[in-house]
Amino acid sequence: MEHVSSPQPPARPRHLMDPNNPVRTVNDRSLTNVQRWVASVLAVFTIIHLAIGIAIAGNVVREDATAARIGLCVIAGAFGVIAVAVGFAIHGKKPHTWPYAPWLLLGLLPGAVGLFFALR
């Protein structure tokens, strides 16, 4: 008696998912790198928006409350520095070390601009 082989199913194109093997291998390093960049951009921009909002709040406080205006602008500058530090920390860099520490001065920008307009 002859042995009859079963017909082979047609090969699927590579861009379609194989139901027998649904998970493709993923380059974990590049995926982690993308996740790190997305997280740092979201964190930095969220905290910077908070700092800018506090600086704007320092400008809408009544004019005779100079201490409150200055205080809010100082807080805005502190949040700006925290935002830059968080961005470096997410990437695994130590923000207080030499190549990154000067970048922390960039975080003072929202407070400095707010202070300029508050005392004008």
Q: pLDDT tens across 33-52, in order? A: 999 999 999 999 999 999 99
pLDDT band at 68 (very low <50, low <70, confident <90, very high): very high
Closest of 90, 83, 89 to residue 105, by C-alpha:
83
Residue 37 lies in a domain: no
pLDDT band at 24 (very low <50, low <70, confident <90, very high): low
The tally of CA atoms less than 13 A away on the side-chain side of residue 93 is 17
Residue 77 lies in a domain: yes
pLDDT of 1 reads 58
Residue 36 lies in a domain: no
Structure-block tokens of residue 76: 């805005």
Domains of the chain: total = 1
pLDDT of 110 reads 97
Host domain of residue 59: 43-118
Residue 7 lies in a domain: no
Mean pLDDT within 51-69: 96
Residue 113 lies in a domain: yes
Residue 69 lies in a domain: yes
Residue 35 lies in a domain: no
